[in-house]
């Protein structure tokens, strides 16, 4: 296997101080050659770009991956932040470029490689900081001053200071009830009272009150201790209707990490290696090699890649000192616990295996990522799922 020598070119998308909106993207290009200098044409390569803060060994605040195939000249090119999945403390559009001192780590992997290799770490040039052009405080001779603005503020010209300054808009006031009655509308002879806390049959309520009641009802219904085949689950309101178990296999509570299983093995073990591995060797597990299906029964199964991705993209992931709270579109949550490993930054990681040998979800305090190409013999926790319509 030849080590790859890669030449990278960065082209900043059109940025001008007079533009109304600075495009939040950068054209990333690369030319692939092997170590003998030969062009690597028609070669598929997966690139992982990690933006580091502070130094070449700094913390990764934005990580994104892209698979491309080189053309006949060994050339690949794509726009960052366009149709790419990412992880980290920031989105690309929210990276605080004004702080400066950012670095880019480039990792690569081809089809004949099991793991990523690091090509190098680049210090970002001033081109990247041109994104701050969209936040200039003086345009075309017009001076404006913004201090501690709030959502909904507008720029209002102050003739005394000669500046446009941020000012809260005063919404138009609704007419008083007495004004309405004087206009001849007696509201059917009923009084309006207790908008925020109705008690009488003829009381009306605000939209805020009605929304709060609706939220309490939905939360109460979806957080009932529902169970299927004796195992509790939570309806997160996901588009596919997938129900996620509250606990890992072998765990008594959501905070318990449970048992660890190698891919396709249905019993936990204490020694995991290639010599002791006896599991299923295929890319996807049949029911008889699925721990959840074998021991929980019915439609319970280890999550597929699609079900894992739905959880990643449709839910809010919030870290605390003990793991991730994952909240679905309907406001209900499940919890993924971590286990301590002093060799890792932050000391704690959680892992959840999918039904594909090449997909494991991993997370810690500053990172949520998909691990690919992991060994089948490596053991991870299992969080079962089922879809009700498949069990009728």
305 or 281, greater pLDDT: 305
- Predicted pLDDT at 9: 45
CB 212 within 8 A of CB 219: no
Of 279 and 24, the structure prediction assigns the larger pLDDT to 279
Does residue 385 carry a pLDDT above 90? yes
Q: Kindly report which listed range (4-13, 59-68, 345-354, 373-382) carries the lowest average pLDDT score.
A: 4-13
Least confident of 139-143, 283-287, 304-308: 139-143
Sign of the dihedral defined by the CA atoms of residues 198, 202, 207, 211, in that order: positive
**Cα 387 to Cα 307: distance, rounded to the nearest angstrom:** 10
Mean pLDDT of 43-63: 89
139: pLDDT confidence band, cut at 50, 70 and 90?
Answer: very low
Question: What is d(CA 46, CA 48) in angstroms, rounded to the nearest whole number?
Answer: 7
Averaged pLDDT for residues 59-68:
90
The mean-pLDDT minimum among 261-270, 343-352, 374-383 falls in 343-352
Mean pLDDT of all residues in 42-55: 89
Between CA 117 and CA 3 the distance in angstroms is: 9
The pLDDT of residue 193? 58
Mean of per-residue pLDDT scores for the chain: 76
CB 130 within 8 A of CB 15: yes
CA distance 322 to 233: 20
Supply the pLDDT for residue 343. 45
Asked if 61 contacts 53 with a C-beta cutoff of 8 angstroms, the reply is yes
For CA atoms 134, 137, 141, 145, give the dihedral sign.
positive
Distance set, CA 376 to CA 111, 187, 250, 266, 270 (Å): 18, 72, 20, 13, 15
User: Contact at 8 Å (CB) between 305 and 316?
Assistant: no
Percentage of residues in the chain having pLDDT higher than 90: 17
pLDDT digits (tens, 9 = 90+) for 349-372: 888 889 988 889 988 877 888 888
pLDDT, tens digit, 9 for 90 and up, residues 205-239 = 777 777 666 655 555 554 566 888 889 999 999 99
User: Could you tell me which residues come within 8 angstroms of residue 173 by beta carbon, excluding any fewer than 6 positions away?
Assistant: none
Torsion of CA 255, 318, 48, 13, to 10 degrees: 170
Claim: this prediction has a pTM higher than 0.85: no
Would you give the end-to-end CA distance of the chain in angstroms? Answer: 52
Could you tell me how many helices (H) and strands (E) the chain has, helices first?
4, 23
Output DSSP code: residue 287.
G
Nearest-angstrom CA–CA distance, 271 and 100: 47
User: Does 80 score more than 60 pLDDT?
Assistant: yes
């Amino acid at each position: 296997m030849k080590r790859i020598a890669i030449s990278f070119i960065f082209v900043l998308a059109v940025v001008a101080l007079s533009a109304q909106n600075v495009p939040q993207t950068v054209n990333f290009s690369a030319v692939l050659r092997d170590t003998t200098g030969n062009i690597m044409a028609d070669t598929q390569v997966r690139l992982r770009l990690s933006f580091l803060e502070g130094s070449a060994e700094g913390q990764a605040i934005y990580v994104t991956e892209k698979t491309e195939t080189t053309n006949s000249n060994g050339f690949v090119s794509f726009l960052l932040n366009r149709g790419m999945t990412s992880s980290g403390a920031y989105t690309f559009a929210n990276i605080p470029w004004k702080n400066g001192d950012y670095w880019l780590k480039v990792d690569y992997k081809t089809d004949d490689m099991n793991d990523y290799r690091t090509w190098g770490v680049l210090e970002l040039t001033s081109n990247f900081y041109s994104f701050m052009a969209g936040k200039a405080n003086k345009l075309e001779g017009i001076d404006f001053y913004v201090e501690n603005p709030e959502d909904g503020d507008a720029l209002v010209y102050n003739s005394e200071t000669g500046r446009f300054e941020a000012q809260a808009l005063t919404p138009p006031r609704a007419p008083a009830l007495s004004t309405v009655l004087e206009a001849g509308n007696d509201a059917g002879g009923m009084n309006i009272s207790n908008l925020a806390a109705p008690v009488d049959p003829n009381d009306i309520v605000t939209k805020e009150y009605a929304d709060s009641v609706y939220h309490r009802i939905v939360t109460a219904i979806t957080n009932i201790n529902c169970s299927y085949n004796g195992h509790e689950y939570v309806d997160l309101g996901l588009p596919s209707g997938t129900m996620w178990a509250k606990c890992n296999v072998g765990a008594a509570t959501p905070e318990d990490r449970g048992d660890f299983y190698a891919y396709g093995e249905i019993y936990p073990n204490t020694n995991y290696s290639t010599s002791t591995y006896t599991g299923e060797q295929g890319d996807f597990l049949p029911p008889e090699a699925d721990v959840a299906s074998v021991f929980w029964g019915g439609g319970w199964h280890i999550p597929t890649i699609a079900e894992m991705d739905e959880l990643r993209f449709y839910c809010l992931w919030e870290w605390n000192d003990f793991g991730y709270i994952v909240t679905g579109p309907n406001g209900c949550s499940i919890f993924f616990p971590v286990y301590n490993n002093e060799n890792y930054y932050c000391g704690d990681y959680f892992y959840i295996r999918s039904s594909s040998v090449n997909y494991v979800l991993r997370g810690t305090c500053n990172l949520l990522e998909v691990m690919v190409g992991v060994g089948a013999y490596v053991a991870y926790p299992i969080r079962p799922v089922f879809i009700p319509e498949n069990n009728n």
